[in-house]
């Protein structure tokens, strides 16, 4: 039998912890701050403060956390909503492939980054995959998100905010395809917002092809950002006027070969097959090369 994975906490610059995935060769969060990233790129980017204010006149705020991982995006969302409206009712689903990750994150010192009212939620979802109270109905769905998203969409669930947080497109292209994002689009309300840390042209093009309008997530003062960065992610909805517009640099990025999206028609292909399919399409494309775009904008 394979040995269970051991997740070793790694301290980030804001004092919170993350893990490093040997499988994907990436950390789960920015080394600049795992907790800060959850707020800046997800809770704040989806305007949860506005959702909290409206919660008194709607049944509940509905959240979908895709690639739940350590649970930090969920934790940041709940802290945001309940700090502004303690009576705010929330319905939440998390999609996660590996149940060992939230379990390993539900102990000290990792869980101490979060408030006393949020810690029991993270612990219950990690151990039982469900949490119920007067103001929160939450469930963690374990398995390939390409399959669990279909079940959720077919139930008619639609979220006011979607946190889209897979490993990077090059490492995990399965969850960045047009085909998967079309299912994700079915799970967003007409006025809802999706946020992701990725600013990749292939991701943004896939979101557009899946039916979304897209905007940029402006650089944040809460996270130190290298000087060559131009955005800290992407926000999407079905209404372009509600989104921060892309800069000219970002608009031109979408007219390069980098903007050819990943595809997975059966939602069952391996990462290698998906990468090869994109590479073949790029080789046949007459779009501007990404290296040419970089030189034009002075991007190293």
pLDDT tens across 143-201, in order?
999 999 999 999 999 999 999 999 999 999 999 999 999 999 999 999 999 999 999 99
Average pLDDT over residues 30-49: 94
User: Could you tell me the two tokens for 177?
Assistant: 């395809």
Mean pLDDT calculated for residue range 69-91: 96
Asked, for residue 67, whether it belongs to a domain, the answer is yes
Q: Is 59 exposed, middle or buried (0-12, 13-18, 19+ CB in 10 A)?
A: exposed
Distance between CA atoms of residues 71 and 87, nearest Å? 22
| Kind plus residue range of the DSSP H or E element containing 26 | strand 26-27
Domain presence at residue 205: yes
CATH number for the domain harbouring residue 37? 3.40.50.150
Domain assignment of residue 147, yes or no = yes
Over 50: is that where the pLDDT of 112 sits? yes
Tokens representing residue 256 in the block: 């390069």
Give yes or no for residue 225 having a pLDDT over 60: no
What SS3 class is residue 171? coil
Other beta carbons less than 10 A from residue 247's beta carbon: 13
pLDDT tops 90 at residue 222: no
Query: Across the strands, what pairs with 194?
Result: 162, 236
Q: How many CB atoms lie within 10 A of CB 150?
A: 15
Cα 253 to Cα 268: distance, rounded to the nearest angstrom: 29
User: Using 50, 70 and 90 to split pLDDT, how confident is the model at 1?
Assistant: very low
Query: Which of 3-17, 59-73, 110-124, 232-246 has the weakest average pLDDT?
Result: 3-17
Q: Report yes or no: 217 and 244 within 8 Å, Cβ to Cβ.
A: yes
The arithmetic mean of pLDDT across residues 119-125, rounded, is: 98
216 φ, ψ (degrees, to nearest 5): -95, 155
Q: Is the pLDDT of residue 249 over 60?
A: yes
pTM of the model: 0.94
At 205 the pLDDT is 98
Q: In this predicted structure, what is the pLDDT of residue 230?
A: 78
What was the pLDDT predicted at 57?
53
Contact predicate 122/106, CB 8 Å: yes
Q: Mean of the pLDDT values across residues 119-134?
A: 97
Using CA atoms, how far residue 10 sits from 27, 28, 29, 61, 103, in Å, is 9, 10, 10, 32, 16
**Contact of 289 with 252, CB cutoff 8 Å:** no
Q: Six-digit token pair at 79? A: 């802290």
Residue 215 lies in a domain: yes
Q: Is the pLDDT of residue 229 over 80?
A: no
In a domain, 13, yes or no: no
- Residue 15 domain flag: no
What range does the domain containing 212 cover? 30-297
pLDDT at 227: 47
Evaluate if residue 46 carries a pLDDT over 60. Answer: yes
Is the bond preceding residue 289 a cis peptide, omega within 30 degrees?
Answer: no
What's the pLDDT at 146? 98
The CB-side HSE value for 172 (13 A sphere, CA atoms) comes to 20
Asked whether residue 3 carries a pLDDT value surpassing 50, the answer given is no
130: in domain: yes
Supply 7's token pair.
């997740």
- The rounded distance, in Å, linking the Cα atoms of 85 and 27 is 33
Query: With 70 as the cut, is the pLDDT of residue 140 above it?
Result: yes
Q: Minimal CA–CA distance to 54: which of 25, 89, 15, 8?
A: 89
Q: What average pLDDT does the chain have?
A: 92
* In a domain? residue 260: yes
The whole-number average pLDDT for the span 36-41 is 95
Take residue 111 and report the two structure tokens written for it. Answer: 């869980």
Nearest to 22 by CA among 38, 4, 35: 4
Tell me how many domains the chain contains.
1
């Amino acid at each position: 039998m394979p040995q269970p994975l051991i997740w070793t906490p790694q301290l980030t610059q804001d004092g919170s912890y993350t893990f490093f995935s040997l499988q994907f060769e990436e950390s789960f969060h920015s080394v600049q701050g795992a907790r800060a990233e959850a707020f800046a790129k997800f809770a704040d980017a989806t305007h949860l403060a506005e959702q909290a204010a409206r919660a008194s006149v709607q049944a509940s705020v509905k959240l979908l956390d895709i690639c739940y991982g350590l649970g930090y995006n969920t934790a940041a969302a709940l802290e945001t909503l309940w700090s502004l409206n303690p009576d705010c009712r929330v319905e939440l689903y998390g999609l996660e492939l590996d149940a060992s990750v939230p379990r390993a994150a539900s102990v000290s010192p990792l869980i101490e980054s979060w408030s006393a009212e949020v810690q029991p939620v993270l612990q219950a979802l990690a151990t039982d995959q469900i949490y119920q109270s007067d103001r929160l109905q939450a469930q963690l769905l374990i398995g390939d998100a390409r399959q669990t998203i279909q079940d959720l969409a077919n139930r008619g669930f639609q979220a006011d905010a979607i946190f889209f947080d897979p490993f990077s497109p090059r490492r995990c292209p399965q969850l960045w395809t047009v085909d998967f994002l079309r299912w994700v689009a079915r799970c967003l309300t007409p006025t809802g917002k999706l946020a992701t840390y990725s600013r990749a042209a292939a991701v943004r093009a896939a979101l557009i092809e899946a039916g979304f309008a897209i905007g940029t997530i402006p650089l944040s003062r809460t996270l130190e950002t290298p000087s060559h960065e131009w955005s800290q992610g992407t926000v999407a909805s079905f209404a372009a006027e509600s989104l921060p517009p892309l800069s000219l640099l970002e608009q031109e990025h979408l007219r390069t070969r980098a903007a050819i999206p990943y595809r997975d028609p059966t939602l069952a292909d391996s990462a290698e097959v998906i990468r090869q399919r994109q590479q073949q399409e790029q080789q046949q494309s007459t779009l501007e090369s990404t290296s040419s775009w970089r030189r034009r904008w002075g991007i190293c």
